[in-house]
Amino acid sequence: MALEDTRTLRFFNRGPSAVARLVFFSVLSLLLLFVDARYQYLESTRQVISIIIYPFQRLTALPGEMWDGVTSFVTLQSHLVAENEQLNLQHDADAAQLKQMESVLSENAQLRALLEVKQRAEYTVQAAQIVYLERDIFKRKLFVDAGEQNGVQAGRAVADNNGVVGQVTRTYPYLSEVTLVTDKDNVVPVQVVRTGLRAAVFGSGNISELELRYQPVDVDIQVGDELVTSGMDGTYPPALPVARVIRVERDPAYPFARIACVPLAGVDRHRTLLIVSGVPTLPPRPAADDAHGTTVPGKKTSRRGTP
Amino acid sequence: MRQQMSMDREFLLPASRGFILASFIVAVLLEWLPWHGMALVLRPDFVGLMLLYWCTHKPHRVGIGIGWMLGIFVDVADASLFGQHALAYTVLAFGGLVLNRRVQMFSLKEQSVHVFVLLLASYGVYALVHWQVRGYVEWNYFLGSLTSTLLWAPLTLLIQTLRRPRRNPNEL
């Protein structure tokens, strides 16, 4: 008996037993999990801890940044001259196009005024550097170095020079979490450029693929079709490129065609991203009134997966 | 016999509070490096391994409470749900405490087998929570437990070398 006691004493010489502690902390974790998954109470705690660990996180991003600095420092002069030449050429071409664009814009404004269509608000962009990439293979997320202090709000669209990259899903004082369009079940309302068909594109969890779901087998979509944001939901500004169709499988055995797309933006390539702000706020959605609405019962199911 | 003695001595080596804290900070920094693509899939769970090391070697100093707190910090940094890593590390630390008496009798190779089972349990808890909340599991996530296991022996050797007192060069 005495031996038992000393052994117990040597094992856990202070506090409750290991099993008791296991149960206590497990229940605590489960409680936190439940609260975090269901409610938003813990966001402030998260923010406080994020400020504490922010310097460490920046420290881990340092080797990559230093490597970039070194490589840009030791770039050959001939390379720079060639690049400069190319950029000048590009600039001339762009300037010519911009002139054209200006005239088209003014013409468009005039036509819109004539037709009394509401002006599309201009949106502004804000550049932000990627601090680090996703650290959990379950998620397609990354962090950029602009946060609440820089005026970023959750829900903002994030793009690069080629198209939509994702959406800001959580903001910290100095960082923002961006969920990529390729995150599993992430939805972007889109429009097919060629036909104007509205649809929704879903993330597949795979870094280089998106799915266009809920389209009938005989839908008019071809390989190579470009998808742009439709601007329907007020989150994404209209007409930002999103994806290109790479594969269409029409199997009559299934109700829907299987359409795979590849994201146009360099979802996994850049260091600098653009956070789009100032998207026009839409008028509030009227309350759904199914019982006495004008919809005919039985014909409610829309064939298109309109967002 | 001689080896047994030296192993016992290894376990009695001192470890200051600062050293333990520093080892955890290094583990966290390693985990936060910008891992990407396949490297991310194969990334060992440095924090989990370090926690397991201290739980098996200094169970009075590092236990379930510290594992839980580490988990909370990792949860915030990884933007995972609050308590997800905390729960996984709680289970891992408990396994380490249970293993503590046994692990001293085994060679590093035999220890690795035990460690693999514990890590698998911890990875399983994490994936289970994710499956409950989001509804799917990425199976190649479990590859990380394999690479972590392979890292157990080098990590143990490294830390014990660091913990060993410096010999006085003037000593005979």
Q: Is residue A94 part of a domain?
A: yes
- Tell me which chain B residues have a C-beta less than 8 angstroms from the C-beta of A136: 78-80
Residue A176 C-alpha, separation from nearest chain B C-alpha, in angstroms: 11
pLDDT at A4: 42
B67-98 pLDDT tens trace = 999 998 888 877 778 888 999 999 999 999 88
Residue B164 C-alpha, separation from nearest chain A C-alpha, in angstroms: 24
B83/A30 touch (CB, cutoff 8 Å), yes or no: yes
**Partners of A275 in beta bridges:** A126, A158
- Chain B's closest residue to A59, CA to CA, is B29
- Tell me which chain A residues have a C-beta less than 8 angstroms from the C-beta of B77: 50, 53, 57, 135
Do A235 and A200 sit in the same domain of this protein? Answer: yes
Q: Is residue A85 part of a domain?
A: yes
Do A113 and A155 sit in the same domain of this protein? Answer: no
B79/A170 touch (CB, cutoff 8 Å), yes or no: yes
- Inter-chain Cβ pairs, chain A and chain B, closer than 8 A: 122
Do A207 and A230 sit in the same domain of this protein? Answer: yes
Do A24 and A110 sit in the same domain of this protein? Answer: no
Q: Whole-prediction pTM value?
A: 0.66
- Tell me which chain B residues have a C-beta less than 8 angstroms from the C-beta of A207: 37
Residue A263 C-alpha, separation from nearest chain B C-alpha, in angstroms: 17
Are A245 and A227 a contacting pair, CB within 8 Å? yes
Mean pLDDT, chain B, integer: 83
- Listed in order, strand segments (DSSP E) in chain A are 124-132, 141-144, 157-159, 164-171, 176-180, 187-192, 198-203, 210-212, 226-229, 241-249, 258-263, 272-277
**Count of structural domains, chain A:** 3
Phi, psi of A160 (to 5 degrees): -120, -165
Q: What is the CATH number of the domain that holds A192?
A: 2.40.10.340
Do A31 and A108 sit in the same domain of this protein? Answer: no
A135/B77 touch (CB, cutoff 8 Å), yes or no: yes
Do A152 and A202 sit in the same domain of this protein? Answer: yes
Residue B57, pLDDT > 80, answer yes
- Nearest Cα neighbor of A215 from A262, A261, A259, A263 is A259
B126-151 pLDDT tens trace = 999 888 887 778 788 888 899 999 99
Q: Is residue A186 part of a domain?
A: yes
Q: How many CB atoms within 10 Å of residue A52?
A: 10
- Rounded to whole angstroms, the Cα distance separating B50 from B46 reads 6
Q: Which domain holds residue A16?
A: 2-38
Length of chain A, please? 307
Banded model confidence at residue B46, pLDDT cuts 50, 70, 90: very high
Do A226 and A271 sit in the same domain of this protein? Answer: yes
B83/A29 touch (CB, cutoff 8 Å), yes or no: yes
Length of chain B, please? 172
- Tell me which chain A residues have a C-beta less than 8 angstroms from the C-beta of B130: 138
Do A82 and A34 sit in the same domain of this protein? Answer: no
- Mutation pick from B11, B56, B64 vs chain A, by most beta carbons of A within 10 Å, is B64
- Tell me which chain A residues have a C-beta less than 8 angstroms from the C-beta of B91: 22, 26
Q: Is residue A143 part of a domain?
A: yes
* Partner residue opposite A46 with nearest CB, options B59, B76, B138: B76
- Tell me which chain A residues have a C-beta less than 8 angstroms from the C-beta of B76: 46, 49-50, 53
Q: pLDDT over 90 for what percent of chain B?
A: 33
* Partner residue opposite A33 with nearest CB, options B40, B79, B129: B129
- Chain A's closest residue to B91, CA to CA, is A22
Residue B165 C-alpha, separation from nearest chain A C-alpha, in angstroms: 25
Q: Is residue A71 part of a domain?
A: no
Are A160 and A274 a contacting pair, CB within 8 Å? yes
- Tell me which chain A residues have a C-beta less than 8 angstroms from the C-beta of B95: none
Do A206 and A258 sit in the same domain of this protein? Answer: yes
- Tell me which chain B residues have a C-beta less than 8 angstroms from the C-beta of A53: 73, 76-77
Residue A83 C-alpha, separation from nearest chain B C-alpha, in angstroms: 29
Helix (H, G, I), strand (E, B) or coil at A264: coil
B36/A268 touch (CB, cutoff 8 Å), yes or no: yes
Class of domain B2-163: mainly alpha
B136/A35 touch (CB, cutoff 8 Å), yes or no: no
Do A90 and A132 sit in the same domain of this protein? Answer: no
Q: What is the pLDDT along chain A (307 residues), one digit of tens a residue?
A: 444 444 444 454 556 778 888 899 999 999 888 888 887 777 788 888 888 888 887 787 787 778 877 877 777 788 888 889 999 999 999 999 999 989 888 888 878 777 766 555 567 788 888 877 666 666 777 888 888 888 888 888 888 878 888 889 888 888 888 888 888 778 899 999 888 888 899 988 777 788 888 888 888 888 989 999 887 777 888 888 889 999 898 888 888 888 999 888 876 666 788 888 766 666 777 776 555 544 444 444 444 444 4
Phi, psi of B78 (to 5 degrees): -90, -5
- Nearest Cα neighbor of B139 from B127, B151, B129, B130 is B127
Q: Rg (Cα) of chain A, in Å, rounded? A: 26
For the residues of chain B, what is the DSSP string, one character each? -HHHHHHHHHHH----HHHHHHHHHHHHHHHHS---THHHHH---HHHHHHHHHHHH-TTTS-HHHHHHHHHHHHHHHT--TTHHHHHHHHHHHHHHHHHHHHTTS-HHHHHHHHHHHHHHHHHHHHHHHHHHHS---GGGGHHHHHHHHHHHHHHHHHHHHHSPPPPTT--
A91-140 pLDDT tens trace = 999 999 999 989 888 888 878 777 766 555 567 788 888 877 666 666 77
Residue B157, pLDDT > 50, answer yes
A33/B28 touch (CB, cutoff 8 Å), yes or no: no
Banded model confidence at residue B10, pLDDT cuts 50, 70, 90: low
Q: Is residue A70 part of a domain?
A: no
- Tell me which chain B residues have a C-beta less than 8 angstroms from the C-beta of A19: 94
Do A102 and A168 sit in the same domain of this protein? Answer: no
Are B75 and B83 a contacting pair, CB within 8 Å? yes
